[in-house]
Chain A
Amino acid sequence: MALNIFKYSSPASFYPLAGKMVPVFYGLAAVFTIVGLYISFFVAPTDATQGEAYRIIFIHVPAAWMSMFIYIVMAIWAGLGLVLNTRLSSMMAQALAPTGAMFTFVALITGAFWGKPTWGTWWEWDARMTSELILLFLYIGYMSLTAAIDDVRRADKAGAILAMVGGINVPIIYFSVKWWNTLHQGASVSLTSSPSMAKTMLLGMLIMAIAAWMYSIAVALSRVRLLMLEREKSSAWVQEILEQKS
């Protein structure tokens, strides 16, 4: 018998499943963070030109990846919610937004700390940094719009439209490196040519990226659990859970 994936598109059946998944992903996030940080600080060699300062990329690059990736995932969930009218999809989109905004902010801040010792400037109006800043504005716009609308259904749908319109910006971020040639270095990791960085550096960065993934999933799931409780507070399954807790 085929597994019915639509079973878990209902909050009542997804809530307990998410509850089981959250600790697993938090655990994975902790393991990968510890391993990743160990490799980043003790195994990866000192960079020949940038010295020790380059080690910030182990935070910066995964955060920048996640900031863009979460936006795309958020827009897809929001779009699914708009098209299929599934409650859970819209809740997932809203649960992802604060994490995405946080990673965007981290990417900008760590970028500034990295830029100061290596380029001698905190901020440069280069295409990628500017696009990352715009991405932060898009996240803030999405969160403000959904927060300003009291009617949950309208908030979900209006947010979905904004997320998808803003999504046009995400590819621009990614390809901006090729469009404009400025101070920013070319993409540090490329899939087509062999990476120019030492294997251990790449390994540390990838493990940190996986840690960021696990953390994002864990946080988004715990946030979506709260959203489910809040929005479905008058339904029978929430009442049951509340009774069990008390």
Chain B
Amino acid sequence: MGKLFIRVIRRDLLLAYRRRADVLTTLFFFVIVVSLFPLGVGPEMKTLRLIAPGVVWVAALLASMLSLQRLFAADYQDGTLEQMLLAPHPLGVIVLGKIVAHWMVSGLPLALMAPLLGLQFDLPPEALGILFIALLLGTPILSLIGAVGAALTLGLRGGGVLLSLLVLPLYIPALIFGAGAVEAYIAGVSPEGHLSLLAALLIFSGLATPWITALALRIAME
């Protein structure tokens, strides 16, 4: 089981490496969206500090929307997904492997990039650390919940827009606690509560969503 899990991750990482441009596109989308806000709101550092956590988080949600469609689309088109469904291995494990690989190429780069973007918003160094930890805990949630939406909308016309309609409302708890952690720190309160809730969400969605996604994939491929 563990071997299968590692194999799937390695395969998807290799595939992602072969198409590096896709990964970079998502990352730069994230950078551009975050950088647009100061231009729209104005360069007042006091305002920017206030909105920074929310802006970074909303940009992360949007960037994750962009990359989600790629989660199953290529495997669906070339028939690999069908083979995975037929394979005598638990589909949930395969799906979890794919989600983890997807997070490593879409969520993790965002989390690594976020402290740098936080500097644009004049966040204090400790707040940058909290932002990083919050994104590290939160972006896997986005990949996990997003996988359900990606499986449900697999192969549908207008799938991308529909996907965001389905998934963005479900992202809201992660957004609230993720941005809330940084805001709490800036306000002088301990961010521990927010981060704990975020971790709880991560564990809960990590346990439930791979199996729900597997079910959704079976329905989509019927």
Question: Residues on A close to B: CB < 8 A?
Answer: 134, 137-138, 140-141, 144-145, 148-149, 153-154, 157-158, 161-162, 165-166, 169, 172
Contacts and interface: CB of A to CB of B under 8 A. Distances in A.
Contact of A161 (B152, B157, B173, B222): B152
Interface residues of B, number: 20
Nearest to A159: B152
Nearest to A158: B152
Contacts of B169: 134, 137-138, 141, 166, 169
Contacts of A162: 148, 152, 166
Contact of A154 (B165, B172, B222): B222
Interface of A (DSSP majority class): helix
A161 B216 CA distance: 7
B68 to A, nearest CB: 15
**Which 10 A/B pairs are nearest by Cβ-Cβ distance?**
A137-B169, A157-B219, A141-B166, A158-B152, A141-B165, A134-B169, A148-B156, A161-B216, A148-B162, A144-B165
Given A166-B169, A169-B170, A172-B173, 4 more contacts: A148-B158, A154-B220, A161-B212, A162-B148
A161 B170 contact: no
A134 B220 contact: no
A237 B158 CA distance: 36
B219 A145 contact: no
A131 B208 CA distance: 22
Given A141-B169, A161-B148, A166-B169, A149 B215 contact: no
Contacts of A157: 219
29 contacts: A134-B169, A134-B172, A137-B165, A137-B168, A138-B169, A141-B165, A144-B165, A145-B152, A145-B153, A145-B162, A145-B166, A148-B153, A148-B156, A148-B158, A148-B162, A149-B156, A154-B220, A154-B222, A158-B219, A158-B220, A161-B152, A161-B212, A161-B219, A162-B148, A162-B166, A165-B170, A165-B212, A166-B169, A169-B169
A153 B222 contact: yes
A75 to B, nearest CB: 14
Contacts of A134: 169, 172
Contacts of A161: 148, 152, 212, 215-216, 219
Interface in B170-222: 170, 172-173, 212, 215-216, 219-220, 222
A128 to B, nearest CB: 14
B219 A165 contact: no
Contacts of B172: 134
A106 B166 CA distance: 22
A138 B222 CA distance: 25
A188 to B, nearest CB: 25
Contacts of A166: 169-170
B215 A144 contact: no
A103 to B, nearest CB: 18
Contacts of B165: 137, 140-141, 144
Nearest to B176: A130
A162 B148 CA distance: 8
Contacts of A154: 219-220, 222
Contacts of A137: 165, 168-169
Contacts of B220: 154, 158
B157 A148 contact: yes
Contacts of B215: 161
Contacts of B168: 137
A165 B145 CA distance: 9
A94 to B, nearest CB: 15
Nearest to B145: A165
Contacts of A149: 156
Contacts of A158: 152, 216, 219-220
Interface centre among B148, B162, B170, B215 (most CB of A within 10 A): B170
Contacts of A138: 169
Interface in B71-129: none
Nearest to A172: B173
